[in-house]
Amino acid sequence: MPKVLEPGVLYASEEFAAAAHLCACGCGVKIRTPLGPTEWQLDETGAGLSLSPSVGNWQQPCRSHYWIWQGEVEWCGDMTEAQIQAGRRLEHLCRRAYFAKREKERFAESRSPSRRIWNFVKNLVGRR
Residues 6 or more apart in contact with residue 52 via CB below 8 angstroms: 40, 41, 43, 67
If you average pLDDT over residues 61-90, what whole number do you get? Answer: 91
Distance CA 7, CA 36 (A): 24
Quickly list H helices, the chain.
Answer: 81-110, 113-127
Instruction: Look at 50 and 114; give whichever has higher pLDDT.
Output: 50
Give the phi and the psi of residue 7 in degrees, each rounded to 5: -60, 140
pLDDT of residue 65: 94
Nearest to 96 by CA among 39, 55, 38, 18: 38
Q: What is the pTM of this model?
A: 0.70
Average pLDDT rounded to a whole number, residues 38-60: 91
Query: What residues does each domain of the chain span?
Result: 1-79, 80-128
pLDDT (0 to 100) of residue 77: 85
C-alpha–C-alpha distance, residues 86 and 57, integer Å? 15
